[in-house]
């Protein structure tokens, strides 16, 4: 999917790290949104009513939007993100709808939506980050998923497998910066990350103590 890799330079490294930070923030917002919607639906005492009510609300939102673009796996949109400009808000709508769905009690389905979020976010970064569109979409594809699931090393190798070893340095810096900035959150509540990373809770606690 990625046919052009720019020559590696210090400036391109800075742009890659900046993109990685944005991907990490997207992963953080996704994790926080999922936690927030889960807490919201926990106010409904009967567990099986949560997905029922959530499904009705989700149906209403889709009817309001007027299309089913953000339902399902979204693989056509992911593929198109490497070739053509996408709508600026695609990634945030997919992020919120997926987090809402999971928070309502529906199980599974994090992986491909995270690929969708990353690829469409990377696609629109071309407006101010001077790297090839396909490369930005690819970096978003692996970095958002890697940050949200705390699997940056695996996602670097996934990038090599999917997009070619020529961009290994870009994958590494994007995934690393996304992983660090995403905080100690995960889409998997019981996951215990082995690598230390930035903690927003510790930062807030320190700020309050001062």
Domain ranges of the chain: 10-209
Per-residue pLDDT reduced to its tens digit, 108-139: 778 899 999 999 999 999 999 999 999 999 99
Global pTM? 0.88
Q: Answer whether 147's CB lies under 8 Å from 182's CB.
A: yes
Q: Residue 7 gets which letter from DSSP?
A: P
Name the residue with tokens 């790290």.
Answer: 17
Nearest one of 6, 20, 4 to 172, comparing CA atoms = 20
CATH code matching the domain that covers 10-209, chosen among 1.10.1740.10, 3.40.50.2300, 1.10.10.10, 1.10.3080.10: 1.10.3080.10
Task: Please give the structure tokens belonging to residue 19.
Answer: 């993109």
Rounded Cα distance, 32 and 104, in Å: 14
Confidence of residue 104 (pLDDT cuts 50, 70, 90): very high
Residue 92 has, within 13 A of its CA and on its CB side, a CA count of 6
84 conformational bin, left if phi > 0, alpha if psi -120 to 50, beta if neither = beta
Give yes or no for residue 201 having a pLDDT over 90.
no
């Amino acid at each position: 999917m990625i046919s052009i890799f720019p020559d590696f330079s210090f400036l391109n490294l800075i742009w890659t790290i900046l993109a990685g930070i944005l991907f990490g923030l997207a992963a953080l917002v996704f994790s926080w949104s999922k936690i927030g919607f889960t807490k919201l639906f926990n106010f409904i005492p009967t567990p099986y009513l949560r997905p029922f009510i959530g499904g009705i609300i989700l149906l209403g939102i889709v009817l309001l939007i007027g299309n089913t673009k953000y339902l399902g796996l979204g693989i056509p949109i992911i593929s198109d993100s490497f070739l053509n400009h996408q709508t600026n808000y695609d990634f945030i709508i997919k992020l919120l709808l997926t987090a809402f769905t999971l928070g309502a009690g529906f199980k599974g389905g994090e992986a491909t939506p995270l690929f969708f979020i990353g690829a469409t976010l990377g696609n629109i970064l071309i407006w101010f980050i001077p790297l090839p569109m396909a490369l930005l979409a690819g970096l978003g594809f692996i970095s958002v998923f890697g940050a949200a699931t705390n699997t940056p090393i695996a996602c670097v190798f996934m990038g090599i497998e999917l997009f070619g070893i020529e961009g290994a340095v870009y994958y590494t810096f994007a995934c690393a910066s996304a992983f660090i900035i995403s905080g100690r959150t995960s889409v998997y509540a019981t996951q215990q990350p082995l690598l230390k990373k930035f903690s927003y809770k510790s930062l807030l606690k320190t700020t309050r103590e001062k």
